[in-house]
Amino acid sequence: MTKYIIKRILLIVPVVLAVIFLVFGILYITPGSSLNRMQIYCSDGLDPVLSAVSAEAGFFTRYVRYCYNVFFHLDFGASANRSVSIADQVFMRWQWTLKLAGLSLLVSAVLGIPAGIASATHPGGKADRIISAVATLFSSVPSYCFAVGLALLFALKLGWLPSYGVQQAGGLVLPVVTVSASGISQFIRVVRAAVSETLDKNYITALRAAGLKERAVIGVHALRNALVPITASLGETATKILGGTFVAEKFFAVPGIGFYLIKAISKVEYEIILACAASTAVFLVILNIITDIICLCADPQLRKRITAGGGKRGSGHA
């Protein structure tokens, strides 16, 4: 198992390189891209290695040099007018994005998981119907529509919270609520499905027949087994929440990575688009690998299969 984990962690390197290759490649062949004709800049002036050959440097040279700069010097180059280091901006903005996304994930989990459990343990009951309705509603209302409603009610009509400006007190409340809405519905759906599937199993019936209290059946035995599919979906949930964060950043003017990306797109700054896209992709790759490892720790069956079958997951037909 340790071997598998190490293998998975080492796998980060080629996957990250491949992801950057893809993003770099797409932006490189874009008509009018600055990545293929400009001289290559570091944050403090012309790139020393490539400035000598920069006019003739081809795609591959540029890609390798870009990766080298990013990984060994944490340097994403400079913006088009060479006034700011993109790396500084990227790190500063990721802090806001992570703060927003992390808080939203926390709020969604705290509200969504108990709601999902309550819904699964009383199927067809009043609680189940209300919770399912809320989940459907939250996943149906577009986040920007939800944000409009919140801003109108709490910022304009009641004046309780600011509709923009995260530096102010309470500035993060509305963005977090906006992002959490879709996160909650996601959690409810996943948890409900996982718990109700576990409750259908024979061993739960056996435990109930043995006279175990319902609370112990659900809290200890059902939940532990339902945890596996819930963790497995955590990566997807986090990706969704990150996507929602981008929209909320744009709406509430949070200076996060999504806001930076969208601004870069409207100004057509390829270096910044590349830095935002690459850093997001890398972040998600690492996140997925972490959830994989957590899954492995939570699921003894998966662990057994991996140690026995070398991680092969083929279905074996035909």
Question: Closer CB to other proteins, residue 191 or residue 274?
Answer: 274
Candidate residues 152, 206, 216, 220; the one interacting with other proteins per rule CB under 8 A: 152
Q: How far apart are CA 289 and CA 283, in angstroms?
A: 10
Question: Closer CB to other proteins, residue 33 or residue 61?
Answer: 33
Does 317 engage in binding with other proteins (CB under 8 A)? yes
Place of tokens 């509709």: 163
**Using an 8 Å Cβ cutoff, are 158 and 105 in contact?**
no
Smallest gap from residue 139 Cβ to other proteins (A): 7
Does 165 engage in binding with other proteins (CB under 8 A)? no
Near other proteins in 215-244, by CB under 8 A: 235-236, 239, 242-243
Size of the site for other proteins (CB under 8 A): 50
Residue 182 vs residues 79, 143, 149: alpha-carbon distances, Å: 34, 7, 15
CB atoms within 10 A of CB 250: 17
What's the longest Cα–Cα distance across the chain? Answer: 80
3-state secondary structure of 46: strand
The one-character DSSP state at 193 is: H
Smallest gap from residue 203 Cβ to other proteins (A): 21
Smallest gap from residue 126 Cβ to other proteins (A): 16
**Using an 8 Å Cβ cutoff, are 258 and 246 in contact?**
yes
Does 139 engage in binding with other proteins (CB under 8 A)? yes
Does 36 engage in binding with other proteins (CB under 8 A)? no
x/- string (CB under 8 A) for other proteins, residues 97-126?
Answer: ------------------------------
Instruction: Name residue 183's beta-bridge partners.
Output: none
Of 39-47, 88-96, 278-286, 302-310, the segment contacting other proteins by CB under 8 A is 278-286
Q: How far apart are CA 63 and CA 234, in angstroms?
A: 32
Q: How far apart are CA 72 and CA 206, in angstroms?
A: 57
Does 159 engage in binding with other proteins (CB under 8 A)? no
Q: State which H helix or E strand residue 162 sits in.
A: none
Q: How far apart are CA 117 and CA 223, in angstroms?
A: 9
**Token couple for 41:** 């800049």
Does 261 engage in binding with other proteins (CB under 8 A)? yes
Question: Closer CB to other proteins, residue 96 or residue 246?
Answer: 246
DSSP-derived secondary structure for 80-94 = TTS-SBHHHHHHHHH
Smallest gap from residue 210 Cβ to other proteins (A): 27
Candidate residues 118, 131, 151, 230; the one interacting with other proteins per rule CB under 8 A: 151
Smallest gap from residue 20 Cβ to other proteins (A): 12
Does 253 engage in binding with other proteins (CB under 8 A)? no
Handedness of CA 168, 172, 175, 181 (dihedral sign): negative
Candidate residues 45, 149, 300, 309; the one interacting with other proteins per rule CB under 8 A: 149
Question: Closer CB to other proteins, residue 51 or residue 164?
Answer: 164
CB atoms within 10 A of CB 94: 18
| Interface ranges with other proteins (CB under 8 A) | 15, 18-19, 23, 26-27, 29-31, 33, 136-137, 139-145, 148-149, 151-152, 156, 235-236, 239, 242-243, 246-247, 250, 258, 261-262, 265-266, 273, 277, 280-281, 284-285, 288, 313-318
